[in-house]
């Protein structure tokens, strides 16, 4: 019975199509041919990487240009000039370094993803596997850095009476506005990385469901 | 023709085994039969979830028991009693909340993973897909929370002369030791979550390679 069946390849191809059409996975999820579903997700991947690049670049620029100088009165008739800048706090130096890494990473992976989009075969499963590993690692790093900057920024905004840490944002308004914008952009970067991880896992699981 | 093929399941199973034996991936990566490779990774998954539970639980306990009361001299002969506790800082309240979520999540997913290990079929691809999605989300949340607690803790340890935030760890030594231990445990939790995401992606990609 087995030899009878293997002698009829058109029948075998027909039997393979039946579960594909009944399953939820679209048949265009084929690594060897660029169909609609594959192209759509690859394009979304590239767009998310461009968004990651844009948010990290703008985040760095906003943070680096946050310098603000104020004259602060210390006694009647006497005032000192104090400059608030991001490099005063280790949390913000780390923040800028992390966003730089995220920006650089997004350029490299965005270009590779873009080039893979051009090719008819699309991005290989192995490359996608390495990308999602690195995406997850970067997600952890960027999220931790955003959290640290946010935690320090919150003390700057609200102060902490228990530790006698005074708030500084009422004095350095523009400085704090820059910080808040930069942290928000970094948060968008983190969310973009999470979406990239989710997208890759979705595409990988679709490839399994297509079996 | 389709009805003819569905009437011969033994043959269909035989035709599926041929590409399995010729592919590079080991045949034990079969979702429907628990082989050596599958069992090994499922066991590692459960162990990592147990580690996540242990680190988050100990992290919460260490953080909650960090309360330290000190008499601080404010003038000769006069001193005030001040208590340092984790709930004084919003970053630490958020930290404890996040670790609680991580701990609860690890109990639920650990039990499901453990039960799946008992079953001969093992954990289904669909469930694994949902797990890795949630793992990645939790990785971002726990990493951000650890970063925030670390950023605030660093100010407590070193202070910040630019913002005139005085260090407090030289006064509240035991309090800071509790904090540092808890942040370290939370960092281990984050790394465990990253390893869980990596493990799941590895298993998913192995399932694709087996095709």
Predicted-complex ipTM score: 0.75
pLDDT at A109 over 80: yes
pLDDT at B35 over 60: no
E strand or H helix at A36, and its extent? helix A36-64
Question: What pLDDT is stored for residue B23 in this prediction?
Answer: 38
Tens-digit pLDDT profile for residues A113-160: 888 888 776 677 788 888 899 999 999 999 999 999 998 888 888 877
pTM of the entire predicted model = 0.76
Length of chain B: 211
- From CA B147, how far away is CA A142, in angstroms rounded? 10
pLDDT at A32 over 50: no
Q: Which residue has the higher pLDDT, B211 or B45?
A: B45
Beta strands in chain A (DSSP E): 29-30, 33-34, 68-75, 78-84
Closest alpha carbon within chain A to B172 = A163
Closest CA to A151 of A114, A115, A179, A127: A179
Closest CA to A49 of A103, A110, A1, A122: A110
- CA distances for A78 relative to A74, A84, A90, A95, A120, angstroms: 6, 19, 30, 35, 71
Tens-digit pLDDT profile for residues A169-201: 777 778 888 888 999 999 999 999 999 999 988
pLDDT band at A41 (very low <50, low <70, confident <90, very high): confident
Map tokens 């210390």 to a residue. A74
Candidate from A113-127, B15-29, B69-83, B176-190 with smallest mean pLDDT: B15-29
CB atoms A148 and B143 under 8 Å? no
A129 touches B209 (CB < 8 A)? no
Q: Is A136 an interface residue toward B (CB < 8 Å)?
A: yes
pLDDT at A6 over 60: no
pLDDT at B3 over 90: no
- From CA B195, how far away is CA B136, in angstroms rounded? 10
Percent of chain A with pLDDT over 70: 79
String of DSSP letters for A103-161: HHHHHHHHHHHHHHHHSSS-S-HHHHHHHHHHHHHHHHHHHHHHHHHHHHHHHHHH-BT
Q: How far from the centroid of its chain's Cα atoms is residue A34's Cα?
A: 25
CA distance B141 to chain A (A): 7
B110 touches B53 (CB < 8 A)? yes
Q: Is A194 an interface residue toward B (CB < 8 Å)?
A: yes
Task: Locate A114 and state its tokens.
Answer: 């873009």
- DSSP summary character for residue B165: B
Q: Which residues of B touch A197 (CB under 8 A)?
A: 136, 197
Closest alpha carbon within chain A to B208 = A208
Question: What pLDDT is stored for residue A104 in this prediction?
Answer: 94
String of DSSP letters for B190-205: HHHHHHHHHHHHHHHH
Candidate from A17-31, A34-48, A143-157, B42-56 with smallest mean pLDDT: A17-31
């Amino acid at each position: 019975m087995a030899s009878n069946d293997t002698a009829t390849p058109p029948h075998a191809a027909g039997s393979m199509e039946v579960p594909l059409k009944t399953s939820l996975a679209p048949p265009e999820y084929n690594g060897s041919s660029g169909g609609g579903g594959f192209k759509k997700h690859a394009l979304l991947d590239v767009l998310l990487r461009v968004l990651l690049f844009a948010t990290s670049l703008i985040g760095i620029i906003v943070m680096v240009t946050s310098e603000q100088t104020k004259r602060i009165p210390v006694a009647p008739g006497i005032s000192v000039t104090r400059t608030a800048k991001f490099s005063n706090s280790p949390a913000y130096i780390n923040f800028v370094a992390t966003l730089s890494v995220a920006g650089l990473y997004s350029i490299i992976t965005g270009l590779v993803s873009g080039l893979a989009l051009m090719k008819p075969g699309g991005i290989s499963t192995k490359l996608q596997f390495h990308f999602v590993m690195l995406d997850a690692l970067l997600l952890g790093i960027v999220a931790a850095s955003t959290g640290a900057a946010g935690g320090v920024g919150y003390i700057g905004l609200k102060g902490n009476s228990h530790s006698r840490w005074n708030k500084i944002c009422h004095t350095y308004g523009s400085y704090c506005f820059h910080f808040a914008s930069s942290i928000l952009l970094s948060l968008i970067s983190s969310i973009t990385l999470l979406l990239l991880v989710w997208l890759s896992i979705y595409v990988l699981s679709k490839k399994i469901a297509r079996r």
